[in-house]
Each structure stands twice: as C-alpha cells, then as structure tokens.
Structure 1
Amino acid sequence: MLPLSDTLVLDLTQVIAGPTAGQILGDMGADVIKVEPLNGEHFRPHFGGAWVPSMNRNKRGLAIDLRTDGGKDVLMRLVKKADVFMEAFTPGVIDKLGFGWDVVSKVNPQAIYASISGYGQTGPYAPRAGYDPCIQAEIGLMDATGPYQGEMCRVGTAPIDYSTGLACAGGIAFALLHRIKTGKGQRLDLSLFDVGMHLMSHWITNHGLTGENPERMGTSNTILCPLRVFPTKTQPVFVAGTNDAFWRLLCTALGRKDWLDDERFKTNAGRVAHRALLEGMIEAYFLEHTADELLERLIPAGMPCSAAYKVSDVMASEHAKARGSVLEIDYPGIGPVKSAANPIKLSAAPVETRQKSPAVGEHTVEIMREVGYSDDEIATLKTAKAIATT
C-alpha cells in the first residue's frame, strides 16, 4: 500500500515545478492525471521529445481543450471526484477558464487546490509571468553566483523550479493530512519567489546582521575558509572547512603540522583574513598530488570533501547506481530516457515506476469512461475537437 493510494490528482501544470510535484505524488501512489492541451504541453519538443517523459512518470494522460464547453465539462466531472487540483497558470488565467479556487472549492469543498506561480497569488508582482532564471535574478541569487570578482551567473540547473516542486508535493501532503483531521480542503499558494527567498535564507540572515550583500566567490565562500574547489594533478577537489575542527582535521590528514601551528590560521576569522595566502598554499600542495591521493587521506579522516565531477561522471558512479538515483525507461520513437529518481525513500513503501509518462491524450478515453461518458459521446467530443485521443 503506497501512501497516496486512492488519491486522485488533476495535474494541469507544465514545464518543471508542477510536473515535479505531480510526479512525486504519482510515485507515492496517487492516480495523477496529466491534463494537457490537444497538442500537448509546450515543452514536449525539448530534449528530442524526452523532456515530458522525464518529468511525468506514474501519470495518466488526458488531452482536452478548456476553451470549449465539451472540454470544460470533462474537467468539471473530474473536479467533482478529485482529491487534489494543481494549476500553474499566471494568476487570473485559471479563473477565466472557469476553474478558479472559488469555483472548485464550491463544487468540491474537500479538494486540495494547489496554485504554482512565479510570484504568488497576492502582492504587486503577482500578475507577472515567472521562470526560474527570472527569480534567480530577482532574489539576488545570480548576483551572488559567479567567478571571483567576475560577472554574475545563472545557476547551472533550475534549483528554484525543482525546490518549488518538492515544496508543493510536501504542502499537498500536509493539506491532505489536515483534511483527515478536519474534513476540509484548502488552497496552497506556492510561488517560485517565496521558495527562492527561502533558498537565500542564510544570506538574508547575514545581511540583517552586517548590512552586507554576498560577494561572487566562484566555488569559495565569503565567510568560511577553506571552502572551495582546488585543482590537483587530475580531478579538481572540493573541500569544506566549515569550522575550526575541520581545519584541524584537514591539516592532520594531510600531515601539514606547519599549517596547523600557524597562528594566522587558528580560527576561521584568521583564515578568512588571510584567505589569499592560505588558499595559495593549499592550491600549491594539491597540485603536487592526484585527486585520488588526496581523497584517500581526507575521506577516511571524516573531512567533508569530494571530487568535482561532470554530470556524466556522477551518473556512472557506483554510489548513484547503489542508490538507484537514475532511472532509464524506453519510449517508442524516442529511445531510452534517463531521469532522476524520486529522492524520497520510504522503507515501507518503496517507489517504483508503475507507468510510463503518457503520450498526449493516451488515457483520454479510459478516463472519460470512468466519469460516465459513453463511447458515442466521446466520439462526438473528439469530432468537435474538444478532446484528443491516441
């Protein structure tokens, strides 16, 4: 028995944040219906057609045109029996389509209604469209990211999107638990902006204390030293000397008593003050050794460190294989599609891929039959282009 068995989720979201949340719910046993336009969501062509398959396993597919009365009727029948309704339109759009919170909550008072947007349902920025890189710029993440004294950079993935998806899935689970206690549904207002602000939490705290903005430091850090990637004879190595104890451990593991005894480096404050000197000494030492030589001494000693890998390296790593971190599913016409596995591992409810990501409208007929449509009615709506089937 999976945690969300017998939970019906209507997933009207696209791209990353919403589909991530829906995929997690599906992995946990929910019957997630991916509701798409007749031609599919607009990111389907990306990655040679592999984008949507990578984001939507354990879902069924329904293709309808919400601009038609027939399409609206299909969705409304599902709304009446759904446990969760997810949407990620710019605020106001879903209301114009006839499925805003006010409408859905009246039709189904027990429904959990999750809205994902760039800036939230309230506030002066609410009407704006928002994508992960926009929020990275807005919250100061880009300004805090980049080479030392160099240009600002976008983080090389979509951390705010994926984090919003995780937050949405968690919020829905909390709301379902609240419904068990109260019998009532509620609305979740998830925004990339709020999640992004949460990701900047320690910099917000630091600014409140010091009035300082974070500096761009490459792989280093303004308040801790040594904490950065250092080149070696082979693979670069990242070390995280986040406190004085780890500094002592680093020196001991490498046999550098001279570093350990140097009064300038006794405390983190001293190491930060003498950063250029200290990092130069460490870099010179690391360049005399291979990454394996260094890691074989540092890791057993308990020093937080790692080789700086490429995506291809970590995907092939023994640890990723042991953890089942990468899934591979074969899709006709596309081939093997690799994607990240669900990071939530429950001992009593192991996650498995029960169903591949659906093609556009793959389960339209099946789902419509479940809510009372006859085959003749389905054929009529298909002819009227209110629905699409495979």
Structure 2
Amino acid sequence: MGALTGIRVIDLTNALAGASATKLLTDLGADVIKIEDRVQGDFTRSLMPSIFHSHNRNKRSLSVDLHTAEGVALVRRLVENADIFVQSLRPGAAAGLGLDREMLTAINPQLIYASFSAFSQRGPSAARRGVDAVAQAESGMVQIQEGLLGNISYVDTVAGLALSHAIMAALLNRQRTGQVDSVEANLLDAALYMQSAPLAEFSVSGQVPDQRNYPTKYPVVGLYPAQDGDIQVAAYYERDWVALCGILERPDLLTDDRFSDQEHRRRHIPELREILEREFRRQPRHHWVEQLSRHRILGGIVRDYDEVLSCEEFGASQSFEHIAIAPDQRMTHVRAPFRFNGQAPAATKAAPALGSDTDDVLIEAGLSRTEIEELRQRGIIGMSNEQPAPAASVLS
C-alpha cells in the first residue's frame, strides 16, 4: 500500500519528462493507465528502449487510435473515474482532439488536469516544440557550461520531478479544501530553476558566473588521480587545507609562501595541482576517502558504472531493482529517490507491452467483451487478447 493507492491517473505522455512524473506516482501506489498509439505506441519503445523501460514500469498500457471519434470517446470514458489526467501532446493537440481541460473537467469536475510542454503555455513560444537540449540552450545553461550538460537528460529529469511534485500538491489541496487545480510544468522553467543561484548572482553583479573555472575560486577542490583511479576532493575551507597537508604528510606546504592562504593558492594553481596529484598517486582511492572522512574533509571515489551497479553503498540503500524484460534478459532499474520508514518503494513490474492491458482497462470502464472485440475489429483499439510483443526488442 502506497500513499497514492486508489488514485487513478490517465497518462497521455511520451518520452522522458512526463513519463518520469507519472512513474513517480506509480511508485507511491497510483494506478497509471498509459494511453498509447494503437500501432507505434510511445516512440521511446523503439528509439530509446532504456528510457521507456525505466520510466514506464508499473503502468498499464491501453492502445487506441485517437484519430477516431470512438478512440477519443474511450479516453473520455476513462476520465469519468480518474483523479488525474496528464498530457504532453504538441501545443494545441489536446484541444484539437477534444481532450483539453475544459472538455474533460466538464465530464469529471474533480479531475486534476496536468499539462507538460517545452515552453510556457502563456509566452510567445507557447506553440513551439522542444527537447532537453533546446531548453538548455535557451535558458542560458549551454552558454555558462560552454556546451550541453552531457548525454543525460538533466532538464527532463528535473521537470518530471517538478510535475509530479505539483500534481501531488494539487491532490492534497483537493483533499483539504475541495478546490480542483490544473497543473502546468515545462522544460524551460525547469532549466531556469536548475540555475537559480547563478542567475541570481548575475542579476546583482552583471558578471556571468564561470562554471568552468571552479578551481579559480577553490584551488584545492577537484579531481585527483589516486593509485587505482580518481577521487573527488572538496576541501573548501582553510581548516580543510591544514588537515589535508597533514593527511598527505606534507606539513612543509603550510609554510610555503606560494600556498600560505587561499589567494596565494589561486595564484599558483599549476604548481599546487602538480604537488597534490603526485601525493595522491601514492595510495589507492579507498585509503584517501577514509582519511578525508576521518578529518572531516568532503571527498569521494569516482566510480564507473560497473562499480556503481555492484557498490555495497547502493545495495544497502536498496537503490536498484532487477526486472526481467525478456525470457533471457534482466534490466537493472533505479528505484525512486525516497524512502518511507526506511524502506524503498515496493518492487515494480516491468514496463507493459503495447496494449497489454487494453481489455482489462475497458472492462473496468464498463465495456463488454463483445463491444471490445468490435472496437478491435474496426481498428479503434490494439491487441491485448494475444501474446503481447516485448515492450522493446532492442536494448542499447
């Protein structure tokens, strides 16, 4: 039993951000029904299968042709008994289908209607489409980082967290006051939120914070090569510098005029780094991290993914679960980043095959098996009365 057990969500999202938001709701016990195209389904099934598997676990799939009046009518029928409707359709598409807020809340006045888009629905770019990389570019993030933040969809992930957070707040408000709110989130606002501090700094100083020149501010902070790999050292304060010299058995550095204080260390970063790198190479990573921790200096091991997946730390915190996605294949998934009473959310089911729950969902909505089969024969809904195809056939 989760905090959202009994809450039903109709999920008309694709890709990462919207899907991750509704996945977090399933982690809390919500029943999420994923509405997918009858033929292709969510495009990440084939193009980005790891994203699909990661962010659609625990959901049920109903495949339907929304280009037909009958298909749209089925979704409206599901809305009658739903608590939340989430959509990330291209701008204007929901209204074109008759699945906009006004239409659906007329059917169910208690429905919380959540919309996700690339840009604000009230700004000049409301009609534009966009992705994570575009949001990074237009929010200033690319400029201060001198490039994209790697291949991980950081903005999508933060936006999904924001959307789920807002949806749960709307649920709480509905319960407490009876007021039914609509919810909106977008990529661009999420990208700005990630830069709250540097934007605030720029608004006062007029200077763009140089995110690439971190060592100039904190000359000792950074990555260092140990005997068996790299470590991250975050020695920000003067007391950290004193303790670090003791750990390295280099008390002479404390009396070296080049390193006598933070300002002098900034002026002599190349010499300082050369000395520290040479010293850190003398011992393995775990030795240094233990020493740093003992002396209350922040630091950690730079792990690769092999180490992450086998790390005792993550095992103890129940960070991963392993789910079969094919008869001979298991995928490791990250659990939700919260715990209740020290326990991780309940184990999840694999992401559904396309349309695998169509019959069950429609029967729950009051349709007879004869009606369902007629809709199937007419191409309105997809297959769920045969052996379903795997959710994704190729893993990358």
- Partner residue of 1:133? 133
- Partner residue of 1:159? 154
- Partner residue of 2:390? none
CA-CA distance at 1:288 after TM superposition: 3.6
Q: How does 1:1-390 map to 2 (within 5 A)?
A: 1-38=1-38, 39-46=40-47, 49-145=49-145, 152-215=147-210, 217=212, 220-262=214-256, 265=259, 268-332=262-326, 335-347=329-341, 350-390=344-384
CA-CA distance at 1:155 after TM superposition: 2.3
SS of equivalent residue, structure 1 residue 186: coil
Report the residue type matching 2:337 in the other structure.
P
Relative to 1, partners in 2 of residues 1:248 and 1:201: Cα closer, same or farther, differing over 3 Å? farther
Report the residue type matching 2:229 in the other structure.
Q
CA–CA distance in structure 1, aligned partners of residues 181 and 121 of structure 2: 14
Q: 4+ residue runs of structure 1 moved beyond 6 angstroms?
A: none
- Tell me, yes or no, if the aligned pair for 2:85 and 2:111 is still in contact at 8 Å: yes
Relative to 1, partners in 2 of residues 1:87 and 1:245: Cα closer, same or farther, differing over 3 Å? farther
CA–CA distance in structure 1, aligned partners of residues 325 and 76 of structure 2: 31
- Tell me, yes or no, if the aligned pair for 2:248 and 2:279 is still in contact at 8 Å: no
- Tell me, yes or no, if the aligned pair for 1:85 and 1:114 is still in contact at 8 Å: yes
- Tell me, yes or no, if the aligned pair for 1:110 and 1:186 is still in contact at 8 Å: no
CA–CA distance in structure 1, aligned partners of residues 347 and 164 of structure 2: 18
Report the residue type matching 1:159 in the other structure.
Y
Report the residue type matching 1:357 in the other structure.
A
CA-CA distance at 1:208 after TM superposition: 2.1
Relative to 1, partners in 2 of residues 1:203 and 1:50: Cα closer, same or farther, differing over 3 Å? closer
CA-CA distance at 1:145 after TM superposition: 3.0
Report the residue type matching 1:2 in the other structure.
G
Report the residue type matching 1:201 in the other structure.
S
CA-CA distance at 1:167 after TM superposition: 1.2
Relative to 1, partners in 2 of residues 1:199 and 1:50: Cα closer, same or farther, differing over 3 Å? closer
Relative to 1, partners in 2 of residues 1:112 and 1:348: Cα closer, same or farther, differing over 3 Å? farther
CA-CA distance at 1:46 after TM superposition: 3.7
TM-score after normalising by structure 1: 0.91
Q: Unaligned regions of 5+ residues in structure 2, if any?
A: 385-396
The count of aligned residue pairs is: 383
- Tell me, yes or no, if the aligned pair for 2:336 and 2:344 is still in contact at 8 Å: no
Deviations 1:259-314 (A, max 9, x none): 34456656545544543343333223223433233223112222211121212221
Report the residue type matching 2:335 in the other structure.
A
Report the residue type matching 2:35 in the other structure.
V
- Tell me, yes or no, if the aligned pair for 2:338 and 2:344 is still in contact at 8 Å: no
- Tell me, yes or no, if the aligned pair for 1:57 and 1:353 is still in contact at 8 Å: no
SS of equivalent residue, structure 1 residue 36: strand
The alignment-based identity, stated in percent, is: 30
SS of equivalent residue, structure 1 residue 212: coil
Q: Unaligned regions of 5+ residues in structure 1, if any?
A: 147-151
CA-CA distance at 1:258 after TM superposition: 3.1
Of residues 51-60 and 172-181 in structure 1, the stretch that sits farther from structure 2 once superposed is: 51-60
TM-score after normalising by structure 2: 0.90
SS of equivalent residue, structure 2 residue 217: coil
SS of equivalent residue, structure 2 residue 110: coil
CA–CA distance in structure 1, aligned partners of residues 18 and 328 of structure 2: 23
Report the residue type matching 2:331 in the other structure.
V
CA–CA distance in structure 1, aligned partners of residues 262 and 87 of structure 2: 47
CA–CA distance in structure 1, aligned partners of residues 369 and 103 of structure 2: 28
SS of equivalent residue, structure 1 residue 185: coil
